[in-house]
Amino acid sequence: MSNRGITKGTLLGKCQWCTQPIREGDGTFASYWAKIVQTKWYCAECLVALKPIIDDLSLEKEYSEDKKQAEDDGNLDFLKQKWIVEVGTGKIHLNPKYEEKEEKNGLWDRYKNGVEKVLNSI
């Protein structure tokens, strides 16, 4: 028996994208970390290949939320401090200087500032 409670060597399914067989307990990276997403099996190699795409999408989402917030507040300087948009490609990056500033600020300070904003808005 394996950690999933299935006999080793049992064919669990095939990856939806690359059609690689996923077997219980075969010891490969692809099978060991395989996941079911909406009733379909996906091997770990395909999921890892999606990481850069997911990272870009999450940055774009965060940028659009920050842009909307900045437009509502009328504070467009915030966008220039936090984000770098490449002119030729339109690719979005977090400003490294802003990230350093966030790390120095710390989780407790961000939590405390968030609580203060909520209390002040009541």
Q: How confident is the model at residue 98 (pLDDT cuts 50, 70, 90)?
A: confident
Cβ atoms within 10 Å of 13's Cβ, excluding its own: 15
Same domain, 36 and 90: no
Amino acid type, 22: I
Q: How confident is the model at residue 89 (pLDDT cuts 50, 70, 90)?
A: confident
Same domain, 67 and 117: yes
pTM score, whole prediction:
0.59
- HSE at residue 106, side-chain half, CA atoms within 13 A, is 3
Same domain, 42 and 56: no
The answer to whether position 109 is within a domain reads yes
Quick one: pLDDT at residue 20? 94
Same domain, 36 and 62: no
Give the integer Cα–Cα distance in Å for 81 and 20. 45
pLDDT > 90: percent of the chain: 30
Q: Which residue has the tokens 């405390």?
A: 112
